[in-house]
Amino acid sequence: MFELTDNHLAASEPLKQALTRVKGVLHVQYLNELTELEHVQTTPTVFYLYMGDAISDKANAGASMQLKQTWLVVLADRLGDEANTGHILTSIIRALAGKKTQGIGPWQRVNTSIKPRYTQGFGFYPLAFTSQFKMRGNHP
């Protein structure tokens, strides 16, 4: 299990690299908030966003803990070529589900409460993935 030491968002860069290898994707970009999706210009683009942690009950009084981070991955694509969009979605799932990226993982696909959205000729297709980490508290 990967240990978080000095960067709580250490999964960001390996996740980006895995998504960059997905065939058919032209651009991969980190999102700071979901409203940035409204400004998509190049498609197909994959966006990714840190969605938070779930902490195990076995926190050992804060000295060490296991946590599960959730990352949202959103494919933005122009409407009208559902077959291509479907292939890219499948490729994203295969690029991550069950895989380790630079020691982080394995990534597990999980349900997301965010539904697909369609607006102004674009479709936005969300997928969520989790990965487990361990972290130590700052104790003497």
Please write the tens of the pLDDT for every residue from 49-86.
999 998 877 655 566 788 899 999 999 999 998 999 99
Query: Is residue 140 domain-resident?
Result: no
3-class DSSP assignment, residue 46: strand
3-class DSSP assignment, residue 12: helix
Query: Is residue 87 domain-resident?
Result: yes
Query: Is residue 110 domain-resident?
Result: yes
Query: Is residue 99 domain-resident?
Result: yes
Query: Is residue 80 domain-resident?
Result: yes
Where residue 12 sits, what CATH number does that domain have?
A: 3.30.2000.10
In sequence order, what are the residues at sequence separation of 6 or more whose Cβ sits closer than 8 angstroms to the Cβ of residue 112? 72, 126, 127, 128
- pTM value > 0.75: yes
Query: Is residue 107 domain-resident?
Result: yes
